Amino acid sequence: MGKRYGFDPAGPVTGLFFLVLAGLFLAEGLAEESIVSATVLAPVVLIGLGLVGTVRVLTRSRRRRLR
């Protein structure tokens, strides 16, 4: 039995971010009117991608398994 690693939050954070974006785009496509304007959505997507990238970089050591 090898060493057990702790919980890595990068996967769930990334998945949750993309699920929220997918839901937002789906709601936008099904709605008659615009839910969120592009001037708000673009910075939110960029900031979210930056946060997801930061979480992935900070938790990289949890995913690395050295031999």
pTM value > 0.85: no
Which segment, 2-6, 16-20, 35-39, is predicted with the most confidence on average?
A: 16-20
Query: Taking Cα atoms as reference points, which of 27, 21, 24 lies closest to residue 45?
Result: 21
CA dihedral angle for residue 66, residue 54, residue 16, residue 40, rounded to 10 degrees: -160
pLDDT greater at residue 1 or residue 67: 1
What pLDDT, in 10s, does the model give residues 22-66?
Answer: 998 898 889 888 888 888 888 988 998 998 888 888 877 666 654
What pLDDT is attached to residue 67?
A: 45
What pLDDT is attached to residue 34?
A: 83
Measured CA to CA in angstroms, residue 38 lies from 5, 32, 33, 64 at distances of 41, 16, 13, 38
